[in-house]
Structure 1
Amino acid sequence: MNTHNILLKSFCINKELLKENACHIAFTGTANYIPWIGVAMTSIMMHNPASSFAFHVLLDHLPQDEMQKLNSFSQKWQVPIFIYIMNDSYISTLCHFSRYIINGKFVAAFLYRFFVPDLISEISSRVLYLDGDIVCNGSISEFMTMNIGNHIVATAPDLKCKEYATRFSLSNYFNAGIILINIDQWMKKNITSLLLETLNLYQSQNIDLPCADQDILNIVLKDNTFFVSRKYNMPYRLVRPSLFKKSIKNENPSSASLIHFIGAIKPWTTYNQTVPIVRVWAEAKANSPWAETPLHSPASQKAIHQAARAARSDHAYLRMIGLYLKFIKSKFDGTPKPGY
C-alpha cells in the first residue's frame, strides 16, 4: 500500500519522548472522537505506570483545541503521540460499500484501521489497535509482549462468534475492536490490499456484510489469527432492561484488563455514570485533559427511553417519571427515533 496516497500529513507530538522499548498503540476516528480516544489513552497510562508507550492516532482532521489537549496529555504522561491526517478524498475511492455511507456521505474513517500497519511499519514491528470505546482497567504488558509466532493478529472471540463464524463458514470469529498486529507478517502478506480487494468483491456481488470491516478482517485473516482470552477484550453492553425484557448479562469486568463498550450506548452518556465499570472510565476522564468535555445527554427516542430505564435502575423515580413523560412526548414532536 502506497501511504503517500492515503495520508495528507503526519507529525509527532514530543517525539523526543519515544523510547526504544515502547509499546505502540493505535487509535482511529473522526475529530469528534478525540476526547474518547484521549480518555482511553489516559486509562492505559493510569493502569500501566511501569510500561513505556507510544500512541498513534489516525484522524480526518485535528482541531487546534484538541491539539493542545493532546500535547497536554503527552507532557503529563511523558509519552509521544504520532498524528496521521488521512486523505479521505482518496480513501473514499478505494471502496463504495454502502454501509460506510452515513447521511449521504462516505465515512472513510471506517477504513482507517486497515492502514495502521502500513503507517507504522517503519517505526515498530508490532502495534495494538484499539477502538476508542474501551477502558483499560489493568496491566496490558503481558498481552503487548505475547509470543504469537507467525500469526498476523492476536485477538479475542466476538460475543457472537459462533453465529458470525457460521455465517461465513469460519471456524472462529474475532471482535476487531482490539487487535494486536504482527506488522512484519501483515506487510509480508500484503494484508491491506487483500482487505480492500475482498471488501470490493463482496460489494460487487451484493453480499451483505452486517459487520462490514470486521467481517472482512475475519475472512482475510481466518488462518492467521491467534485467539486470546476475553481478558484483553471483554465486551460490555450498557443497554438497560425494560419492564418486559430481561437485563443483559455481562461478564464481570473487574477481571479484565481491556473492557470494550460494544453496541450503540457508550460510557460518555449522562445516564450511565452510576455503572461501576463506567466509573472506572469516568475516573480516567477526570484525570485527562478532556475532564470538562460534556457528556452526551439523551437526544433521541431510544436514548430518552434508555435514560428512563437507567433512572428506574438507580431508584431515581422522580427523574424516571420525567423521562418517561419526555419519551412519550418524543414520539409526537419530531425527535429522531434512533441514536444515543
Structure 2
Amino acid sequence: MNTHNILLKSFCINKELLKENACHIAFTGTANYIPWIGVAMTSIMMHNPASSFAFHLLLNQLPQDEMQKLSSFSQKWKVPIFIYMMNDAYISTLCHFSRYIINGKFIASFIYRFFIPDLLAESTSRVLYLDGDIVCNGFLSHFMSINLDNYIVATAPDLKSKDYAARFSLPNYFNSGVILINITRWKMNDITNLLLSNLNLYQKKKIDLPCPDQDVLNIVLKDNTFFVSRKYNMPYRLVRPSLFKKSIKNENPSSASLIHFIGAIKPWTTYNQTVPIVRVWAEAKANSPWAETPLHSPASQKAIHQAARAARSDHAYLRMIGLYLKFIKSKFDGTPKHGY
C-alpha cells in the first residue's frame, strides 16, 4: 500500500521523547472521539508506569484545542504522539461498502485501522491497535511482548465468537477492538489490499456483513491469528435491565488489563458514572487534559430509557420517575430513537 495518497500530512508531538524500547499503540477516530482516545491513553500511562510508549493517532481533523490537550498530555507523561491526518477523499475511492455511507457521506474512519501497519512500518515492527472505547486497568507488557513470529495478529475471542465463526465458517472469531499486529508479516502478505478487495467483493456480490471491518479482518486473517485471553479485550456492556428483561451478565473486569465498552452505551454518559468499572475510566479522565470535557446527557429515546433504568438501579426514584416521563414524551416530540 502506497501511503502517500492516504495522508494529507503527518507530524509528531515531542518526537525527542521517543525511546528505543517504546511500545507503539495506535488509535483511530474522528475529531469528536479525541477526548475518549485521550482518556484511554491516560489509563494506559496510569497503569503501566514502568513502560515506555509511543502513541499514534489516525484522525480526520485536529481542532486547535485538542492539539493543545494532546501536547499537554505528551509533556505530562513524557511520551511522543504521532499524528496522521487522513485523506478521506482518497480513502473513499478505495472502499465502496455501503455500510460505511451514512447520510450520503462515506465515513472513512471506519477503515483507518487497515492502514496502520503501512503508516508505521518505518517506525516499528509491531503495534497495538486499540478502539477508543477502552480503558486500561492493568499491565500490558506481557501481551505486547507475545511471540508473533508465526502470526500476523494476536487478538481475543469476541463475545459471540461461536455464532460469528459459524456464520463465516471460521475456526474462531475475534473482536477487532484490540489487535496486536506483526507489521512485517502484515506487509509481506499484503493484508491491507486484501481487506479492501474483500470488502469491495462482498459489496459487489451484495453480501451483507453485520460488522464489515471486523468481519473482513476475521476472514482475511483466519489462518494467521494467535488468540489470547479476554483479559486483554474484555467486553463490557453498560445496558441496564428493564422490568421485563433480565440483566446482562458481564465477566468480572477487575482482573482484566483492557476493558472494552462494547455496544452503543459508553462510559462517557452521565448516567453510567456509578458503575464500578466506569469509575476506573472516570479516574483516568480526571487525571487527563480532558477532565473538563462534558459527559453526554441522554438525548435520544434509547439513552433516556437507559438513564431511567440506571436511576432505578441507583435507587434514585424521583429522578427515575422524571426520566420515565421524559422517555414517554420523547416518543411523540421528535426525539431521535438512537444515539447518546
- Please tell me the TM-score bracket, short chain as reference: over 0.9
> Which structure 2 residues correspond to residues 59-70 of structure 1 after superposition, within 5 A?
59-70=59-70
> Which structure 2 residues correspond to residues 221-240 of structure 1 after superposition, within 5 A?
221-240=221-240
**How big is each residue's C-alpha offset from its partner over 1:152-202, in whole Å with a ceiling of 9 and x where there is no partner?**
000000000000001100010000000000000001111000000111011
**How big is each residue's C-alpha offset from its partner over 1:107-144, in whole Å with a ceiling of 9 and x where there is no partner?**
00001000000000000000000000000000001001
The 3-state SS of whatever aligns with 1:5 is coil
What is the CA-CA distance between 1:102 and the residue it aligns to?
Answer: 1.4
Q: Which residue number in structure 2 is paired with residue 210 of structure 1? A: 210
Q: Which residue number in structure 2 is paired with residue 8 of structure 1? A: 8
Distance across 2 between alignment mates of 1:141 and 1:185:
21
Give runs of ≥4 in structure 1 deviating > 6 Å.
none
Q: Which residue number in structure 2 is paired with residue 121 of structure 1? A: 121
The number of aligned residues is: 340
Distance across 2 between alignment mates of 1:102 and 1:141:
38
Amino acid at match of 1:213: D
The 3-state SS of whatever aligns with 1:20 is coil
Distance across 1 between alignment mates of 2:31 and 2:336:
23
Distance across 1 between alignment mates of 2:338 and 2:17:
43
Q: Which residue number in structure 1 is paired with residue 174 of structure 2? A: 174
Q: Which residue number in structure 1 is paired with residue 319 of structure 2? A: 319
Q: Which residue number in structure 2 is paired with residue 247 of structure 1? A: 247
> Which structure 2 residues correspond to residues 80-229 of structure 1 after superposition, within 5 A?
80-229=80-229
The 3-state SS of whatever aligns with 1:21 is coil
Amino acid at match of 1:113: R
Q: Calculate the TM-score normalised by the size of structure 2.
A: 1.00
Amino acid at match of 1:64: Q
Q: Which residue number in structure 1 is paired with residue 304 of structure 2? A: 304
Matched, 1:35 2:35: yes
Q: Which residue number in structure 2 is paired with residue 329 of structure 1? A: 329
**How big is each residue's C-alpha offset from its partner over 1:311-336, in whole Å with a ceiling of 9 and x where there is no partner?**
00000000000000000000111111
The 3-state SS of whatever aligns with 1:56 is strand
**Percent sequence identity over matched residues?**
87
Q: Which residue number in structure 2 is paired with residue 71 of structure 1? A: 71
> Which structure 2 residues correspond to residues 244-283 of structure 1 after superposition, within 5 A?
244-283=244-283
Distance across 2 between alignment mates of 1:339 and 1:280:
23
Amino acid at match of 2:6: I
What is the CA-CA distance between 1:61 and the residue it aligns to?
Answer: 1.0
Distance across 2 between alignment mates of 1:316 and 1:199:
47
Q: Which residue number in structure 2 is paired with residue 48 of structure 1? A: 48
What is the CA-CA distance between 1:5 and the residue it aligns to?
Answer: 0.5
Amino acid at match of 2:183: I
Q: Calculate the TM-score normalised by the size of structure 1.
A: 1.00
Q: Which residue number in structure 2 is paired with residue 339 of structure 1? A: 339
Amino acid at match of 2:250: N
Q: Which residue number in structure 1 is paired with residue 20 of structure 2? A: 20
Distance across 2 between alignment mates of 1:130 and 1:95:
22
Amino acid at match of 1:47: H
Structure 2: tracts of 5 or more residues without a match: none
Distance across 1 between alignment mates of 2:212 and 2:292:
34
What is the CA-CA distance between 1:105 and the residue it aligns to?
Answer: 1.1
What is the CA-CA distance between 1:243 and the residue it aligns to?
Answer: 0.2
Distance across 2 between alignment mates of 1:18 and 1:313:
46
Amino acid at match of 1:316: A
Structure 1: tracts of 5 or more residues without a match: none
What is the CA-CA distance between 1:339 and the residue it aligns to?
Answer: 1.5
What is the CA-CA distance between 1:103 and the residue it aligns to?
Answer: 1.9
The 3-state SS of whatever aligns with 1:261 is strand
What is the CA-CA distance between 1:26 and the residue it aligns to?
Answer: 0.0
What is the CA-CA distance between 1:148 and the residue it aligns to?
Answer: 2.4
Distance across 2 between alignment mates of 1:328 and 1:103:
27
RMSD (CA atoms): 0.5
Amino acid at match of 2:231: K
The 3-state SS of whatever aligns with 1:194 is helix
